[in-house]
Amino acid sequence: MAEPVLEIRGLRIALPKDSDRAEAVSGVSFSVAAGEIVCLVGESGSGKSVIAFSAMGLLPKSLPVVSGTIALQGENLVGASEYRLRELRCTRMGMIFQEPMTALNPVMRCGDQIDEVLRAHTQLAAAVRREKIIAMIAQVHLPDPVRMVDSFPHQLSGGQRQRIMIAMALVLGPSLLIADEPTTALDVTTQAQILKLIRELQRDRGTGVLFITHDFGVVAEIADRVAVLQYGELVEMGPTAQILSAPQHPYTRMLIASVPSHTPPARPPVAGAGDAIVLSTEALAKTYSTAGLFGGARKVDAARDVSIEIRKGETLGIVGESGSGKSTVARCIARLIDPSGGKILLCGTDIARMPAGRLRELRHKVQIVFQDPYRSLNPRRTVGESIIEGPMNYGLARHDALERSRKLMELVRLDPGALERYPHQFSGGQRQRICIARALAMEPELLIADEAVSALDVSVQAQVLKLLEEIRHSLHLAVLFITHDLRVAAQVCDKVAVMSKGIVVEYGPAEQVFRAPQHEYTRALFDAAPGRGFEFAAA
Amino acid sequence: MWNYIGRRILATLPVLLIVAVLVFLMLRLTPGDPAAVIAGDAATSQDVAEIRAKLGLDRPVVTQFFIWIGRGLQGDFGESFFYKKTVASLIADRIEPTLALATLTIILATLIAVPLGTLAAYRQGSWIDRIVMGISVIGFSVPVFVIGYVLIYVFALQLGWFPVQGYQRLADGFGGFLHRLILPSITLAMVYVALLARMTRTSVLEVLNEDYVRTARAKGLPNLKVLVFHALRNAAVPIVTVIGIGIAVLIGGVVVTESVYNIPGLGRLTVDAVLARDYPTVQAVILLFSFAYVVINLAIDLMYTVLDPRIRY
């Protein structure tokens, strides 16, 4: 066998002294051959990104390589000079990142950003460089390459920006491409296209790819071989089909079992919940308009003609890609923003245009859990203070509010003693449990979960979803579940509304929508979901 | 874009009107009578009354205001009570030193502070960073006149490199003009260096953690290029804002420096005019200052569109 493009042997990378473990990466060895895609899979904190950055020589000084070798086509990069590393970047190894929205310099034209690579590493004349850039942009299938060269990143969509990043990383034809969660921030349909593009370019050029991801769906789509990382250690490695269908290590088995299935389970209605309608909307609409001084107003329909209905003990999922209007609907229902038309009936009362004073009485009935548990709790307040603030605003005595918060902590499976601690002392999953407790402290009728599990690792996600299920059963809560993740929606929703461009294109029982989608957009969405052909959790 | 500029210029009119009313009223509400000052110590009350009638100060305040504003709209700001010249020509005489001082100060401050601040951010926590931040604390806390006199003592009196005081017109030779302007500019620049270096450090630090800076490094660019084209370029908006505010505040703030270095600029003119209750001069100068302020602010806002393509009006 020919020399591997990347060969990592016994790599150890230290963590700063006060961390929860001594090493970010502990003795990891693997290799990537030319023309091969190796996926590094693991949950957050597993050290997968640290390995990627160490190969590029982009690790901060606080994470030093202690021992081991990283060989790029036989050349050891550990201990290589900053100058040599700079020479190798983009010429022999290129990298693309997770966030295409922020990975490009916002004040520089896309063409210039690619041009920088050529100017830094070649002596080519300006005209030749421009030709090369346009050819490369055409290769990543961007429309109108000549115009793309002169456009700024903010004029492009997330998928287009990621294509520019790929063009930048591959313009000099490196033998190794490191892709750090390149599709995580993208919509499923865009993700499918980008994965296809990476596959295509990699095949044509024989590039070795080190692909970092947490998503087993993506692994199933793209990987030749898979390496599973846990706490900085490589626990299992092998060909993709073997790892996915016959995982050996218990951690790998647990991870794969946590991936929600695309097939909705049978969901009997919650016993004793009755069928009272908690919330319904009639032709709900939200239009944003920016008025110019001399006319020329711009109107955007964020949501149009949305009519949905949620009963006690029922979960309605709103599924859609970014910009589909699903969050707008959630925010209108919670009256965080004012709808521009239609009705919102909360327990029979229309709150769509209710003035703030009267609305206050009803506010506690609708509570939201947001996507990012790291930013939705006040960092300078103890968790207990955050939980009791709401009920105390509604007149509950401090003592009683504290009593309630202790009970809720038990309900969300956290130690009531932890009420005195601050948010940064908890993990992401724990924080999301706290956010749920905070919402429940208001004793709501309707709980809105706005991408509430999207930022969590699969194993944690599975736990939080289980918790939400339990709560729905014990409290007969109506839940509005906003998500872009079809697998999650399939598991937790009784009914599903699929939104696209502000309109509900399909609405019905989850089982029916998933089994036989009627609308072409729904079908496209389902087809784009990674790892479709692979049934993970045999539920 | 033009739409926006038009609106902004229209919006300056009420601002200028309010300034005009306030200045006019405040001057007349403060104690002190220009007629008495002009007439001198030996004058009788008869003399004072005559001078007053001649200057038009015996009429009701409202009438005086409308006469002044009416003429002002035609570009006539009247005649100074003391210099026996039109206010317009008085300002024309005095504006060059002030503009020269302000311009040189801002150029010096920017040239010193932006590289220092960027370096401090790049080497955050190092001795360079600590020295730069230390200097900026000194720049903030030592008053302008103290810096002025210390610089005169060291560089003019002891070393004899620069003249103690005075101003030479640009028309009389650039060398002499610059030579005499250096010490006052450094004096005035100190506080802006402090402010600007801190501002630059903070915004560059913020930008250095951005994903696109990491991308730039992943491309294999040299550090200097990453720092200038990717970090500093994106940190420019707040820095330019501070520079702009600096210019505006400077024009009003040259008063002390011009007094210390005996420079015949607008700052000195303002002080003298206020002391002598020279109403027309004070009114015109302050109106000019506020106009400059408004124009500079507009210029800054327009600069944003050049610096950041995402900003469009």
Q: How far is residue A54's CA from residue B132's CA, in Å, rounded to a whole number?
A: 32
Question: Is A107–B308 a contact, with Cβ atoms under 8 angstroms apart?
Answer: yes
A54-71 pLDDT, tens digit each: 999 998 888 999 999 999
Q: Which of A117-126, A207-216, A501-510, B271-280 is the least confident region?
A: B271-280
Q: Which residues of A touch B238 (CB under 8 A)?
A: none
A536 pLDDT band (50/70/90 cuts)? low
CA dihedral sign, ordered B61, B64, B66, B72: negative
Buried b (16+ CB within 10 A) or exposed e, B202-236: bbbbebbebbbbbbbbbbbbeeebbbebbbbbbbb
User: What average pLDDT does range B219-247 have in this prediction?
Assistant: 90
**Superfamily name and number for B91-312:** MetI-like (1.10.3720.10)
> Best residue in B215, B224, B240 to probe A by mutation, most A CBs within 10 Å?
B215
Task: Report pLDDT for A539.
Answer: 35
pLDDT greater than 50 at residue B277 = yes
- Residue A285, strand partner residues: A341
- Nearest by CB to B3, which of A86, A117, A293? A293
Residue B125 contacts A where some CB pair is shorter than 8 Å:
no
Q: To the nearest whole angstrom, how far is the Cα of B180 from the nearest Cα of chain A? A: 40
Q: Do B309 and A106 touch (CB under 8 A)?
A: yes
Integer Cα distance of A53 and A98 in angstroms: 13
Residue B304: list chain A partners with CB under 8 A. none
Is B281 strand, coil or helix? Answer: helix
CB contact under 8 A, A105 and B221: no
Under an 8 A CB cutoff, do A168 and B219 touch?
Answer: yes
Per-residue pLDDT tens for A388-403? 999 998 888 999 999 9
Task: Give DSSP secondary structure letters for B107-127.
Answer: HHHHHHHHHHHHHHHHTTTSH
Are B220 and A90 a contacting pair at CB < 8 A?
A: yes
Residue with tokens 């769509």: A352
Average pLDDT over residues B18-36: 83
pLDDT at position B287 over 90? no
Strands A208-213 and A37-41: parallel
Q: List phi, psi (to 5°) of A413.
A: 65, 45
Option in A58, A88, A292 nearest B217 (CB): A58
The answer to whether the Cβ–Cβ distance between B233 and A105 falls below 8 Å is yes
CB contact under 8 A, A293 and B7: yes
**Six-digit token string for B47:** 């003399």
Supply angle C-alpha B63, B64, B68, rounded to 5. Answer: 120
Amino acid at A365: K
Taking an 8 Å cut-off on Cβ atoms, the answer to whether B309 and A58 are in contact is no
Is the pLDDT at A470 greater than 60? The verdict is: yes
First and final C-alpha spacing in chain B = 5
For B310, which residue in chain A has the nearest alpha carbon? A154
Nearest CA in chain A to B6: A293
AA identity, residue A310? I
B7, B229, B310: residue with CB nearest A106: B310
Q: Are B149 and B190 in contact (CB under 8 A)?
A: no
pLDDT(B251) > 80: no
Instruction: For residue range A241-289, list pLDDT tens digits in order.
Output: 999 989 999 999 998 888 888 888 877 777 676 778 899 999 999 988 7
Cβ contact A103–B212 (<8 Å): yes
pLDDT average, residue stretch B144-165: 87
**Which pLDDT value is given to residue A296?**
56
If you average pLDDT over each of A38-42, A301-305, B169-173, which comes out highest? A38-42
CA dihedral B294, B298, B300, B304 (to 10 degrees): 160
Q: B220 vs chain A: nearest CA distance in angstroms?
A: 4
Among the listed residues A423, A506, A414, A508, the one whose alpha carbon sits nearest the alpha carbon of residue A463: A414
Q: Which pLDDT value is given to residue A538?
A: 45
Task: Note whether A120 contacts B220, CB cutoff 8 Å.
Answer: yes
Instruction: Look up tokens 């100068």; give the residue.
Output: B285
Which of A213-222, A368-377, A380-389 is predicted least confidently?
A: A368-377
- Read off φ and ψ for residue A344, nearest 5 degrees: -125, 110
User: Who among A90, A152, A292 is closest to B219 (CB)?
Assistant: A90
**Residue % of chain A over a pLDDT of 90:** 53
- Would the CB atoms of B219 and A108 count as touching at under 8 Å? no
Q: In this model, does residue A535 exceed pLDDT 80?
A: no
Whole-number Å distance between alpha carbons of A271 and B229: 63
Where exactly are the structural domains of chain B?
91-312
B7 inside 8 A of chain A by CB: yes
Query: Structure tokens of A461?
Result: 């996600």
Residue A58 and residue B218: Cβ atoms within 8 Å?
yes
- Nearest chain B alpha carbon to A172: B219
- Nearest CB to A106; choose among B216, B220, B234: B234
B67-104: burial string, b at 16+ Cβ within 10 Å, e else: ebeeebeeeebbbbbbbeebbeebbeebebbbbbbbeb
Chain A residue numbers touching B7 (CB-CB < 8 A): 293
Question: Which pLDDT value is given to residue A308?
Answer: 93
> Best residue in A72, A107, A117, A180 to probe B by mutation, most B CBs within 10 Å?
A107
From chain B residues 183-212, the ones with a CB under 8 A of any chain A CB are 210-212
Partner-chain contact B234 A105, CB within 8 Å = yes
Residue in B5, B126, B209, B212 to test binding to A, most A beta-carbons within 10 Å: B212
B237 in contact with chain A, both atoms CB, cutoff 8 A: no
d(CA A271, CA A249): 39
Q: Is A229 exposed, middle or buried (0-12, 13-18, 19+ CB in 10 A)?
A: buried
More confident residue, B75 or B25: B25
Show residues of chain A in contact with B306, CB under 8 Å. none
Structure token pair of residue A156: 């492009």
CB spacing of B219 vs A120 below 8 angstroms: yes
Section A196-208 average pLDDT: 92
Degrees to nearest 5, angle at CA A150 with A145 and A156: 75
Provide the whole-model pTM.
0.82
